[in-house]
Amino acid sequence: MGRIKKIVLERELDERLRWLISIRWFAATGVFFVILGTRYLLKIHLELLPLFAGTLALLIYNTVFYYINRRLILRRGQDSWFPMATRSANLQISIDLFLLAYFIHFAGGLENPFIFYFIFHMVIASMLLSNTAAYFQASLAVLLLTGIGVLECTGVLMHHHLEGFIPHTSCLVNPTYNIGVLIIASSTLYITVFLTTTIVNRLRKGERSILLATERLAQQDRTKSEYVKKVSHDIQSSLSTIQTCLQVVLDGTTGNIPDKSREMIARAEKRSELLIKFVKDLLNLSSIRARSKMDMQVISLKNTLERLVDQNLILAREKNQSISMHINQHHWVRVNTFAIEELVMNLIANAIRYTPPGGRITVQTESNNDSEVLVSVADTGIGIPEKELPNIFQDFYRAKNARTTEKSGTGLGLSIAKQIVESHHGRIWAESRLGQGSTFYFTLPKAQTN
């Protein structure tokens, strides 16, 4: 349970920290336009300079936290990540509260209805932080509001009246009004934290039990794959022995055999070869599924793909096909080299098998965005019927036209490919036009090279 809880909390905090930073950009833009609108459209008197300075401060510290968060992400998975991320979240919300108090002070103090915007911070704090920390932030907000009220009313801080919004005397000469606002605002903040934390705690509990069940299923799946792996391994060694024996007989080493028997043995040998290929694929797939961790290396995709295309040149030439590459840049990825070779080999082998003589195969890479590389293997082959396209990554699935064109096939190559890509946190999909060709795409996360 400890590990699951950690995973849920880490993922949640990471997502919400990013979300918090992204909504702050909108908040800064919103504040800017509200200041302008209030001043020039509603003609309410505002101290523009300190308010714009506050907006600038908001932009600056959000930029700082954006970069801090990017550095923090590199540490995800390490023990130090969670306490550091929690500290950052606490600090960010406290600074937000101070800034909101600053805005409120320069725009009317407790007479400004925007004091109720503290509620948003309470909701965010309850979602992002522990219950205790959320109540701490609520107390800080109450303290700040009380500070504004007391310091402005006692004249320690200057009161910046919202001229044109409410009559001048309303709050300063009326302590009952101030106390009333403070009591209502404070209780609203505490009640908000109480309600939000109650809901969030319930949701977290639900999410945790789902994750626990998922983790258990994954464990069972790995046990099953481990079993299939062992069985296929045993079958494969027996089959290889059978095939070797048949080959020895066919070679004539054991003496002459009648033509009829030779034909039957040759057929048996061919069948055992297909069976070996099938069991090998099964073994491969279950090995990948049974593995929870892989050895990873940082490699250049360009070099690996060039090597794999070279290895397939002869096969393509035999079918009078051209095979070309469009890779003009090194993309560094952190992968298990054997698995990635297997994946690309499967896709190129399929492209060659399902493309008639004279066709074209193209391997390409491009930067999908800052964090991903997109690899494509395109062919001008038989294509895949539109209706069958969603099924081709399922175990043992073979499209109807493929079964007619190519009798021998296990329907496991793309399952292996999908498994490999997903274990590298990438995506794989295909686009195809029947009779015109197919393109298989997959993405891999770029390696952090700094």
Sequence-separated (6 or more) residues with CB below 8 Å from residue 283: 229, 232, 233, 236
For the beta carbon of residue 11, count every other beta carbon within 10 angstroms.
13
By the rule CB under 6 A, 410 interacts with ligand ADP: yes
Stretch that binds ligand ADP, among 74-82, 224-232, 240-248, 404-412 (CB under 6 A): 404-412
Q: Minimum distance from CB of 416 to ligand ADP (Å)?
A: 8
Residue placing its CB nearer to ligand ADP in the complex, 334 or 398: 398
By the rule CB under 6 A, 379 interacts with ligand ADP: yes
Token couple for 236: 């494969």
By the rule CB under 6 A, 350 interacts with ligand ADP: yes
Stretch that binds ligand ADP, among 157-165, 234-242, 245-253, 410-418 (CB under 6 A): 410-418
CA-CA distance, 443 to 429, in Å (whole number)?
A: 9
Stretch that binds ligand ADP, among 59-67, 199-207, 213-221, 408-416 (CB under 6 A): 408-416
**What is residue 446's three-state secondary structure?**
strand
Stretch that binds ligand ADP, among 4-12, 55-63, 261-269, 378-386 (CB under 6 A): 378-386
By the rule CB under 6 A, 402 interacts with ligand ADP: yes
Residue placing its CB nearer to ligand ADP in the complex, 50 or 385: 385
- In the complex, which residue's CB is closest to ligand ADP? 413
| b (16+ CB within 10 A) / e for 380-391 | bbbbbbeebbee
- Type and span of the H or E element at 283: helix 259-290
Residue placing its CB nearer to ligand ADP in the complex, 262 or 319: 319
**Options 108, 109, 149, 411; binder of ligand ADP; rule CB under 6 A:** 411
By the rule CB under 6 A, 108 interacts with ligand ADP: no
Q: Are 10 and 82 in contact (CB under 8 A)?
A: yes
Stretch that binds ligand ADP, among 175-183, 208-216, 291-299, 374-382 (CB under 6 A): 374-382
CA-CA distance, 301 to 368, in Å (whole number)?
A: 14
Residues 287-346 that bind ligand ADP (CB under 6 A): 346
Is 121 buried (19+), middle (13-18) or exposed (0-12) by CB count in 10 A? buried
**Options 279, 327, 351, 428; binder of ligand ADP; rule CB under 6 A:** 351
For the beta carbon of residue 263, count every other beta carbon within 10 angstroms.
11
By the rule CB under 6 A, 284 interacts with ligand ADP: no
Please give, one letter per residue, the 3-state secondary structure of 123-170.
HHHHHHCCHHHHHHHHHHHHHHHHHHHHHHHCCCCCCCCCCCCCCCCC
User: Which residues lie near ligand ADP (CB under 6 A)?
Assistant: 346, 350-351, 354, 379, 381-384, 392, 397-399, 402, 409-415, 438
